Structure 1
């Protein structure tokens, strides 16, 4: 919900403008839960779901026992892709044949606490030999087609105009960093599987890291049923480890925290959103208790606090998807007051945008003002917040002026601002200017633009609203997307039916 989120209009003024995705970048709602009933049947009482407290405020009354998640109790746990990266429990070094030099990334120098080291780790380590983690039958075959290829076959003729795409997942002729940066999730999933089945079963750190790479790549491919099946296979084997002491050691010392979050995500994919919230709450409690037990070890405390803060963000995202804006704001607001590297202008801005989404403009203005007063806030974030507030007030000319004259004048490659500007222009009926701005961004950096589904959805909608040649324009857009997007794009954003 920081600057990486997309702005889109949710205007009730016309059927056309309502097609543009929601202005605050939040997903559609899932159904609200039914009220709970008590006996006798004639009396109805609504029970408001409990919002978990962010763990970062120490509460001496809480038990120090890790009651939230244990190796035998944790039967379901997310990742998000959408996903929020979590500090790894153990860094994984992939023994690739050839690794290129690391590509530049905006998060390259991010301060992430290193995992704590303990001299007693090797002495306490039980002898674990788990060949079941490496057998080929743990994995399912990846389909050799995808929805984007289906669209190309239907709409692009003759066939020589269709961009060549790798549907086999060949990974041997390139390096890991290139595969990641080009969204080659099929190749990464196959690479992880091939390396797992040839690994030494005693190298649990490497194998579990590769398992996470495999599952997260499948999730990026939107193969959620396959991800669920393989993740269930993995955790069924891990929960069967005997004796219990060895299982506890593996879950506490070796299992990547990301895999636990991925396991929670299975409940989301099956449509059981309340069970998903429960699983995330259990992970949050685990982070809280482990942070307390690590007092005196600053590195371990910092690691568990960061993980807890990120789980809070995942929880808030899910609550937003369920349209429970009050609970999402209540969950994140305490984090803005706690300091220690947790509070930030981006987090404060995220809380303000939640209030905007719920229609609470007063609370949104207060949080935006606090974010603007922070000396560390980037100018682009301050300007974006002002544009969002102007849009919420219905002052679309002011919103477009701020985005054009302040944000894009300073950073022409800010494609989130370009998308937001398109929505502001659409709301003023300036369709041609909106299309021109988006097409200019597409030509300037197609590899960055075509992976942004809200951007593609808004551009496709503008084509439909203005041009009689919309289908031809969308065919050209499809070709560009096929060239640059890699794997896993949700093709419904192109508004081109497959049937």
Structure 2
């Protein structure tokens, strides 16, 4: 899906994708939908298929990034597997992982600074922004809460080059922190180079038993996912799907081979398999293949005990594809679920009303939801869209501006929110330029690093 649409169409549902409530687009090739569950009747328990094994040698495998509105932050993670006895661990010494030459310098400017230099004059009006990456003056928690990804990336690098290579748990954890921060800075080329450097060292481990032990026991699963995502950043979306399928296959095999005496290991790999399945479904949505995405999510719902969050996500994908009746059926399931919250049910009702063109009903539901939960900025965002659809442009702008004033630090990092507000300003063309400059100043004060500045709809060249 488009990262930042050029037309004034607004985004709904708190994600950075355009809602599609008409008939689904034609699909040139429908990718095969993998079975997300971990039972393969046609596979041997002791062997991996030859093609998968070859692919794994070329591509050490990896896990996800989900959108603002679809993350389940309260979801409990499965318990960690029981570690092997220390005497069973092979001796692995990888000094290459802490060499300074493994890292590239981080640029000391960013697109937001470029916009400030172009649009805000005189220079005294521009907020002071620290793009030096200095991290010594703040603690880790403060850096995370202020979205200081540049400083965190530098901190990870500085600590890596002084860490004992024998402490592989710490080394690999710092590597994940470094790469995750680079990706949050949208330095995707640099992330790809450094991630490739990391896996080049890991794949050179000898003997093969030591390498297998490290990948199974020590390597964070998120690093494997990130390595797979390099294909996405390179623009190879079909290759990305293929790599995710290889990773899903790995999760299946590991879950099936987990010893019965160690149930936590099997639970861990099943959880990872479900996560990879959700990444695949997300990618299919981005490719506008809503049919394949819903097939995969339906499998998750029928082969396990689905949560209300999963049912709601499936129904919302059906809405994007224009399958309103199927969405209605899943929303009905959610309303009967004991784990469904009142806010979730109201949001589902509002989205269904929008899909049916009942904008006044949607506005009424969302207004009640916001009165109950003022910090629900997804609801605020959707309310502005429903007001605009009724021709109430001024009220839509006021709703977004009130949320921005109430909690600027939370709102300015939500790119769909900023895109919608910028679009509404453009529709009131008389004051658009001044209002967008004011919004840019507010964003520069609060957003930290890594904002996708195209959401402000202000050309940088």
Judge conservation of contact 1:55–1:285 (CA < 8 Å) in 2: no
Shift of 1:338: 3.7
Aligned equivalents of 1:59, 1:284: Cα separation in 2: 12
Contact 2:14 2:382 in 1 (8 A): no
Among candidates 109, 112, 119, match of residue 145 of structure 1: 109
TM-score, structure 1 normalization: 0.85
Report the counterpart of residue 489 of structure 1 in structure 2: 451
Residues 1:399 and 2:380 aligned together? no
Distance 1:71 1:332 in 2: 26
Q: Aligned residues, how many?
A: 447
**Contact 1:55/1:284 (CA < 8 Å) preserved in 2?**
no
| TM-score (normalised: structure 2) | 0.92
Query: Of the candidates 327, 335, 359, which is equivalent to residue 372 of structure 1?
Result: 335
RMSD across aligned positions (CA): 2.4
Is the Cα contact below 8 Å between 1:54 and 1:331 reproduced in 2? Answer: yes
> Are the equivalent residues in 2 in contact too, given 1:78–1:260 (CA < 8 A)?
yes
Q: Distance in 2 between matches of 1:76 and 1:325?
A: 29
Judged with a 3 Å threshold, the aligned counterparts in structure 2 of structure 1 residues 149 and 167 are, in CA distance, closer, same or farther, namely same
Cα distance in 2, alignment partners of residues 345 and 381 from structure 1: 9
Which residue number in structure 2 is paired with residue 251 of structure 1? 215
Aligned to 1:332: 297
Aligned counterpart for 1:20 among listed residues 10, 31, 43: 10
- Aligned mates of 1:182, 1:82 — CA distance in 2: 20
Partner of 2:31: 49
Would the aligned equivalents of 1:148 and 1:491 in 2 still touch at CA under 8 Å?
A: yes
For the 8 Å contact 1:24–1:357, the answer to whether it is kept is no
Q: 1:21 to 1:488 in 2, by over 3 A?
A: same
Give yes or no for contact 2:360–2:386 (8 Å, CA) kept in 1.
yes
**Which whole-Å CA distance do the structure 2 matches of 1:355 and 1:449 have between them?**
28
Aligned position for 2:277: 312
5 Å-filtered alignment, 1:345-384, equals 345-384=308-347
Instruction: Map 1:106-255; keep pairs closer than 5 Å.
Output: 107=73, 110-120=75-85, 122-255=86-219
Structure 1 gaps of 5+ residues are 1-7, 36-47, 85-104
CA distance in 1 between counterparts of 2:429 and 2:240 reads 43
Residue 378 of structure 2: SS of its match in structure 1? helix
Partner Cα distance (1:409, 1:439) in 2: 16
Partner in structure 2 of residue 3 of structure 1 = none
Asked whether the equivalents of residues 16 and 415 of structure 2 are also in contact (C-alpha less than 8 Å), the reply is no
Q: Is the 8 A contact 1:81 1:220 kept in 2?
A: no
Q: Is the 8 A contact 1:77 1:279 kept in 2?
A: yes
| Structure having the larger proportion of residues in helix | 2
User: Which 10-residue stretch deviates more, 477-486 or 300-309?
Assistant: 300-309
Unmatched tracts of structure 2, length 5 or more: none
Quote the offset at 1:334 in angstroms: 1.9
Q: Structure 2 vs 1, CA of residues 332 and 373 (structure 1 numbering), >3 Å: closer, same or farther?
A: same
Of 110-119 and 284-293, more deviation after overlay is shown by: 110-119
